[in-house]
């Protein structure tokens, strides 16, 4: 049996780790018999290296990450390489990140409507706030979420700002939405879990008198997307072995 190693970023905020464990629990319920283990890149235990050291059979490191940025592109592969599993004859693959999957965008749209917002409100502007990366390609991919979010609604406009990048600032993004016809603005956080950065965005929202939706959390569609990435990696492994 292939083990799914659900690998989250890690945070000093315990709510973040709790969300990763909630996703893992949902995965186990959705697919009984699947060996699901939680690991963290940093700041929480167990660390990814420790979890991989305990594997005795094939595994797929499945990132609980939205963007194909530093942790997915560099950190996780480096930690995998440091374990020496290939020398032990253990097959290990890394799955793709969750990305801008339509299922996750639908969850984000649901989070906005949970604020009491109508999909027919043509006065509404939506500010999608994400973590941000030093990789411009990753940021460009994340920026695709905002136009996808308003599909099927009459919302006036949507745009993206990054919590860790200087431009555009959250305040500048709000001004842009108002120039595009939004009479009021809500924040749609492109975050998987509560934590330090979402709290920073929440403080901005409170100061600006803007309502902020909940993060994606452990919604069933988040877990479904994780399983999809896991299955894709397993199929790629099977195809390689059959070649």
pLDDT tens track for 199-210? 999 999 999 999
Question: Which class does domain 3-99+219-242 fall in?
Answer: alpha beta
Domains 3-99+219-242 and 102-212 share a fold: yes
Q: Where in the chain are the domains?
A: 3-99+219-242, 102-212
Q: Tell me the pLDDT band of 237, cut-offs 50, 70 and 90.
A: confident
Mean pLDDT of the chain: 96
In whole angstroms, give the CA distance from residue 214 to residue 108: 8
CATH number of 102-212: 3.40.50.1400
Q: Assess whether pLDDT exceeds 80 at residue 241.
A: no
pLDDT range class, residue 110, cuts 50, 70, 90: very high
**Which pLDDT does position 86 carry in this prediction?**
86
What is the pLDDT, as a whole number, of residue 173?
97
The pLDDT score that the predictor gives to residue 3 is 98
- What is d(CA 186, CA 117) in angstroms, rounded to the nearest whole number? 9
Question: Do the strands 3-8 and 124-130 form a parallel or antiparallel pair, or are they unpaired?
Answer: unpaired
> Is residue 37 scored above 80 in pLDDT?
yes
Higher pLDDT, residue 86 or 217 = 217
| Nearest of 111, 48, 52, 44 to residue 85 by alpha carbon | 52
Distance CA 51, CA 46 (A): 7
In this prediction, residue 224 has a pLDDT band, given cuts at 50, 70 and 90, of very high
CA distance 150 to 156: 8
53-105 pLDDT, tens digit per residue, is 999 999 999 999 999 999 999 999 999 999 999 888 999 999 999 999 999 99
């Amino acid at each position: 049996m292939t083990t799914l190693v659900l690998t989250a970023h890690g945070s000093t905020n315990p709510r973040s780790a709790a969300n990763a464990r909630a996703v893992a629990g949902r995965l186990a319920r959705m697919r009984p018999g699947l060996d699901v283990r939680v690991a963290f890149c940093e700041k929480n235990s167990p660390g990814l290296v420790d979890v991989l050291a305990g594997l005795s059979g094939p595994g797929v490191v499945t990132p609980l990450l939205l963007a194909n940025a530093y942790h997915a592109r560099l950190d996780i592969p480096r930690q995998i390489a440091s374990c020496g599993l290939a020398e032990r004859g253990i097959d290990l693959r890394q799955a793709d990140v969750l990305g801008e999957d339509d299922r996750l965008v639908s969850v984000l749209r649901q989070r906005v409507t949970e604020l009491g917002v109508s999909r027919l409100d043509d006065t509404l502007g939506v500010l999608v706030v994400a973590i941000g990366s030093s990789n411009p390609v990753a940021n460009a991919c994340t920026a695709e979420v905002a136009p996808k979010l308003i599909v099927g609604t009459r919302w006036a406009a949507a745009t993206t700002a990054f919590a860790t990048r200087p431009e555009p600032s959250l305040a500048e993004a709000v001004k842009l939405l108002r120039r595009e016809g939004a009479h009021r603005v809500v924040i749609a956080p492109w975050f998987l879990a509560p934590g330090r950065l979402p709290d920073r965005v929440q403080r901005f929202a409170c100061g600006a008198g803007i309502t902020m939706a909940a993060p994606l959390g452990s919604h069933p569609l988040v877990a479904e997307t994780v399983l999809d990435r896991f299955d894709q990696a397993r199929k790629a492994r099977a195809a390689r072995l059959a070649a």
